[in-house]
Structure 1
Amino acid sequence: MQNIQLYLDLTFFTILGLMMFIALWITFERLFLFKRIDVESYPHIELLNIDITKNLTTLSTIGANAPYVGLLGTVIGILITFYEIGMNDSLETAVIMTGLALALKLTAAGIAVAIPALMFYNGLLRKVEELQAKYRVYQDLSPKAQTLNKD
């Protein structure tokens, strides 16, 4: 049963680590794109939106689901703890509390992945709004600038 607990931790921490890696990858990729994007080169705002919102759904999904992945690991850990208690025919408080405490670490890890992922998502959404505003300003000023140059 100890091996199952070890594999449980390894599996869920790997999944959560992969989720965090993907969240960081998307965040940095988007930030680098936002720094070099030229809103004036887009003929329509929807084409700009397609480019600047790419992969943000994945980031949001990671932030929303990481706690559930951790919680699933915790529930399985608690089930294993109760199974071990039942098999050993003992109700020692220390065994119960230790098993429960070890199971809860996966929930904590899920929350630790979700919080930064959602912070990254919200920060990137703010950048998206800024780029959209820059595009609208450029579009509003462009005809006026063309009229002024003709005179």
Structure 2
Amino acid sequence: MDIETLKHMVDYGVIGLLVFMSFIAVWFFIERVIFYRKINIRNYKNKKQLDVALTKHLTIIGTIASNSPYIGLLGTVLAIMLTFMTMGSGDIDAANIMSSLALALKATAVGLVVAIISMV
């Protein structure tokens, strides 16, 4: 497998996973907003049932918020490793090195965006 194919697999795999995580976080956020608008506290027999209903799916959103920066960082590390592999093969110039390193950072940026969206 050549390096360009690996770069595309890392790029689309990590960013695709982060976009999917963002979709899930937004989905549960919308579900929670709809639930909170329609909630009737009198329907719950005790405080524990109400607490369970109020905090349902918040763990998923919190998990996405805490793990997405790490997934983005993993994508950046893998992309930088592939850049070093390309540099080691000797067929890359300084402009391509800088371009590859700049593109490697986009995985971290997307991971941070997903985390920020999930925290709001």
User: TM class by shorter-chain length?
Assistant: over 0.9
Pair 1:114 & 2:92 matched: no
> What does 1:36-51 correspond to in 2, within 5 Å?
36-51=38-53
Partner amino acid, structure 2, of 1:79: M
Deviation digits for residues 52-102 of structure 1 (CA, Å, limit 9, x no counterpart): 101101100101111110000000000000010001166x32222111101
Distance 2:96 2:44 in 1: 63
Write the deviation string for residues 12-67 of structure 1: whole angstroms up to 9, x where unpaired: 11100110010011001111111111001212111001111011011001011111
| Residue of structure 2 aligned with 1:71, choices 70, 73, 78 | 73
Report the residue type matching 2:57 in the other structure: N
Q: Tell me what 2:11 maps to.
A: 9
Match of 1:96 in 2: 97
RMSD: 1.1
> For 1:66 and 1:32, how far apart are their aligned partners in 2?
25
1:84 counterpart residue number: 86
Instruction: String of CA shifts for 1:127-151, please: whole Å, max 9, x gaps.
Output: xxxxxxxxxxxxxxxxxxxxxxxxx
Structure 1 gaps of 5+ residues are 120-151
Equivalent residue for 1:20, pick from 22, 27, 32:
22
Q: 1:58 aligns with which of 51, 57, 60?
A: 60
Output the CA distance in 2 between the equivalents of 1:93 and 1:101.
12
State how far apart, in whole Å, the 1-side matches of 2:17 and 2:96 are.
27
TM-score normalised by length of structure 1: 0.75
What is the TM-score when the length of structure 2 is the normalising length? 0.93
| Runs of 4+ more than 3 Å apart | none
Q: State how many pairs are aligned.
A: 118
Q: Distance in 1 between matches of 2:80 and 2:115?
A: 22
In structure 2, what is the Cα distance between the partners aligned to 1:71 and 1:34? 34
Distance in 2 (alpha carbons) for counterparts of 1:85 and 1:9: 18
Gaps of 5+ in 2: none
- Structure with higher Rg: it is 1
How far does the alpha carbon of each residue in 1:116-137 deviate from its partner, in whole angstroms, 9 at most, with x for none?
A: 1011xxxxxxxxxxxxxxxxxx
